Homo-oligomer: A and B are copies of this chain.
Amino acid sequence: MRAKPSLDWLLVLVPVSVVLELSGGPDLAIFLTSAAAILPLAGLIGRSTEQLALHTGPRIGGLINATFGNVTELIIAVFLILEDKTEIVKASLTGSILGNLLLVLGVSFLTGGIRHKEQHYNAHAASVHSTSLVLAVTGLLMPALFALGSQGETVVQREILSGTVAAVLIGLYVAALAFTLVTHEHLFRTPDEDEAPAWSRRRAIVMLLIATGLVALESEFLVASLEPALADIGLSEFFVGLILIPIVGNAAEHSSAVLFALRNKVDVTLEIAIGSSTQIALFVAPALVFISLAVGHPMDFVFSTFEVAAVALSTVLVFMISSDGRSNWLEGAQLMGAYVIMAISFFFVEHL
């Protein structure tokens, strides 16, 4: 998948951001360069994962992809948690789900649909993902209702509830992996092109480690400069979490998904866009509940009504659009329209 060379030149921003940070440069400049530097690094993680997967065969490859797919989001989130910015973490998780389901899938369906009139994909896979998303909505809604309905709940209750819900979601994520990769793998097999790996196994692993390390470095810069930089440009933290961070974290996926749609391989597009969302909802977000406990900055699993409603609506929309195993440009435009409506609402919410 030599697909997005266009972003590689941004790698030059890695040293630039380091110099800025060391020389005590302006926060806004650090914020922007580190955000932009993450784009090609996330792409590099994606490419090394794919190369590694070509060496390991489809099953282990699927597992590696699933595990490293959202590692950028995970790293940024951990740094945010260490700064006790749990509300931004939740916003960025929600925004990542929405961005993948509506924006990435929408642009892919729209551009792919303009070129190919009608595109077809495995409705089975779409259906497993949709059901996983409804479970995620259940896991988001019940604790939110619990928190809304009760002023008197104790912190311990909130933590136990959050931990249990998170454990169930992770269990269901593992179950869905076992289903798609092991017990019912035949339903999800896509015509394979038997691509030869372009990188050696060693090179893939080394690149993966380097890119992940650099993402961690840039994420630290990004998070540290976030607050002062936002004060400069007048955007609220909530909006940045919901819209900007997810776009940075998912830019690589975004361009891959669109390219595959243009090449009429919508199955891969779906796996990237919806698969990434279910992974964040059922694995990354719940894992952060436990990670946050381990690092001593506990984050509960109670999201705002706004966030729950947005994820629920997106889930319904994706289910309706994808359940027939076909896509076209109108469906892409509709997904993008929903994203715009949500983004503009979020924009004002957080100016309050």
B residues less than 8 Å from A149 (CB atoms): 304-306, 349
Chain B CB within 8 A of A171 CB: yes
Interface contact A316-B127, CB-CB below 8 Å = no
CB–CB A172/B337 < 8 A: yes
Instruction: Give 30 A-B contacts (CB < 8 Å), ordered by A residue.
Output: A127-B320, A131-B317, A131-B331, A135-B338, A135-B341, A138-B313, A138-B317, A138-B338, A139-B341, A141-B313, A142-B310, A143-B345, A145-B309, A145-B345, A148-B305, A150-B348, A153-B352, A157-B351, A160-B344, A161-B348, A165-B344, A165-B345, A168-B341, A171-B333, A172-B333, A172-B334, A178-B330, A179-B328, A179-B329, A316-B316
Is there an interface contact between A337 and B168, defined as CB atoms closer than 8 Å? yes
Pairs A-B, 6 closest by C-beta atoms: A142-B345, A179-B330, A164-B344, A172-B337, A150-B352, A175-B333
How near does chain B come to A95, taking the closest CB pair, in angstroms?
Answer: 14
Expressed in whole angstroms, the Cα–Cα distance for A344 and B145 within the complex equals: 13
A residues adjacent to B (C-beta < 8 A): 117-118, 127-128, 130-132, 134-135, 137-139, 141-143, 145-146, 148-150, 152-153, 157, 160-161, 164-165, 168-169, 171-172, 175-176, 178-179, 183-184, 304-306, 309-310, 313, 316-317, 319-321, 323-324, 328-331, 333-334, 337-338, 340-342, 344-345, 348-349, 351-352
B330 touches A146 (CB 8 A): no
In the complex, what distance in Å separates the CA atom of A128 from the CA atom of B320? 10
Query: Is A150 within 8 A of B330, CB to CB?
Result: no
Other than A118-B184, A137-B313, A161-B344, give 14 A-B pairs with Cβ distance below 8 A: A132-B334, A135-B334, A135-B341, A138-B313, A139-B341, A145-B309, A146-B348, A148-B305, A160-B344, A171-B337, A179-B328, A179-B329, A179-B330, A183-B329
Contacts of A130 in B (CB 8 A): 320
Residues of B within 8 A of A323 (CB): 323
Q: Is the CB of A160 within 8 A of B337?
A: no
Within the oligomer, what is the number of copies of this chain?
A: 3
Nearest neighbor of A164 in chain B, beta-carbon distance: B344
Q: Which residues of B contact A132 (CB under 8 A)?
A: 334
Give the chain B neighbours of A128 by CB distance below 8 A.
330
Cross-chain contact B349 with A146 (CB below 8 angstroms): yes
Q: Once bound together, how far apart are the Cα atoms of A123 and B76, in whole Å?
A: 44
The answer to whether A142 touches B342 (Cβ under 8 A) is yes
Q: How far is the CB of A117 from chain B (nearest CB, A)?
A: 8
Contact B131 A321 (CB under 8 A): yes
Asked if residues A320 and B319 are in contact (CB atoms below 8 Å), the reply is yes
Given contacts A127-B320, A134-B320, contact A142 B341 (CB under 8 A): yes
CA distance A141 to B307 in the complex (A): 12
A176 to B286 alpha-carbon distance, docked (Å): 38
* Alpha-carbon distance between A184 and B328 when the two chains are bound, in angstroms: 9
A218 CB, min distance to chain B CBs, angstroms: 32
Give Cα A142 to B312, complex, Å: 12
Q: Is the CB of B176 within 8 A of A330?
A: yes
Residue in B closest to A319 when the chains form the complex, CB atoms? B320
